[in-house]
Structure 1
Amino acid sequence: MVVFFDPGQLTARLSLETATATPDGQGGATTTWTEAASLWARIEPVSFQLRQDAGAETGTITHRVWMRFRQDIQAGQRLRKGERVFVVKLVRDPDETERYLVCQCEEKAR
């Protein structure tokens, strides 16, 4: 089944970020994020969850992020729009035609 998607809805400019771990000399690592690409996407909020962590209320918002098909996107990377950070959890080609990708992402609420 071919998915119809209007590419004119790709109106959010996002940065694709990849992680690099640098050993800290004490058995751990410091993670730095580097911009790997800039792309146009559509961000769709899907759900939110509020919870109490150590007496403070925190939340997680899930999104579906649509973009043109790319080979270099995988779970664990991040998408950034200004100060907003979307952690990529799942990447799929919705109709297996290599036209678009849909990423399931989580954004931490502030």
Structure 2
Amino acid sequence: MEPGRFRHRLTLQNFTTTKLPSGQPQVLWFDVATKIPAECKAVSSRELMTSGAEKAEATIRVWMRYRPDVNASSRLLCENGPYKGMTLEVTGIPLPDAKMTRLEILCKQGVKQ
């Protein structure tokens, strides 16, 4: 593994659902880990019209060291690099490599205009 590749820092968040006093469910995000070394690269992007509104969406591939607490419902907050301040939604099951040393995570980042 090349340690120089993991120059971006991410915060891993998972969610929990609680009920408000009114009975409505509320989703709360909490930090699982901060300052995780990772490599983020853009794979593709697209623009589309939905319900009369233009939407832009980017697919970003994230590589990080293997962590068992990353799942398909997690999200990643970028702390530095070209995606600083962006929230990346994990779109599928994170894929470990054959030696269980790295994870490949495909994420989506979308902005409504």
Same fold per TM (> 0.5)? Answer: yes
Deviation at 1:54, TM superposition (A): 2.8
CA distance in 2, matches of 1:36, 1:77: 10
Could you say which residue in structure 1 is the equivalent of 2:53? 56
Deviation at 1:27, TM superposition (A): 5.1
Could you say which residue in structure 1 is the equivalent of 2:78? 81
Task: Give the TM-score normalised by the residue count of structure 2.
Answer: 0.83
Q: Match of 1:8, SS?
A: helix
Could you say which residue in structure 1 is the equivalent of 2:37? 40
Count of residue pairs brought into register by the alignment? 105
CA distance in 1, matches of 2:63, 2:24: 35
Corresponding residue to 1:30 among 26, 29, 38:
26
Q: Structure 1 regions of 5+ residues with no counterpart? A: none
RMSD (Å) for aligned C-alpha atoms: 1.6
Q: Match of 1:58, SS?
A: strand
Instruction: Tell me which stretches of 4 or more aligned residues in structure 1 moved more than 4 Å.
Output: none
Percent of residue pairs identical? 29
Could you say which residue in structure 1 is the equivalent of 2:107? 105
Task: Give the TM-score normalised by the residue count of structure 1.
Answer: 0.85
CA distance in 1, matches of 2:16, 2:78: 20
Deviation at 1:28, TM superposition (A): 3.6
Q: Structure 2 regions of 5+ residues with no counterpart? A: 80-84
1:52-75 per-residue CA deviation (whole Å, 9 max, x = no partner) reads: 123221111111100011111111
CA distance in 2, matches of 1:43, 1:11: 9
